[in-house]
Amino acid sequence: AHLNRHWRVPDWMLSSGLSARILVRISQDGQIISKKFVVKSSSSDFNESVERALQDAEPFPTPPPRLSRLYSEEGIEWGFPK
């Protein structure tokens, strides 16, 4: 939910069937350690909107203690639009 609030994409992109997946590693204080597309869309504008959303959402909420190692070492994979 936190990330979705920061993702701004024109309606035409949402209805175009574009999608992307990105793997993000997040530190214990909510900062992005690294990010890497697992699957890019065919639209550079769409991909840029994903990266912009991540940047705008930083810092992320503090990960729960039991998940902080997972978030920082293995990362979380997010799909856009879902």
- Per-residue pLDDT tens over the stretch 10-57: 777 777 889 999 999 999 999 999 999 999 999 999 999 999 999 999
Q: Does residue 31 contact residue 59 with C-beta atoms inside 8 Å?
A: yes
pLDDT, greater one: 48 or 5? 48
* pTM, to two decimals: 0.84
Is the separation of the CB atoms in 72 and 26 below 8 Å? Answer: yes
Neighbouring C-alpha atoms within 13 Å toward the C-beta of 60: 24
pLDDT of residue 68: 93
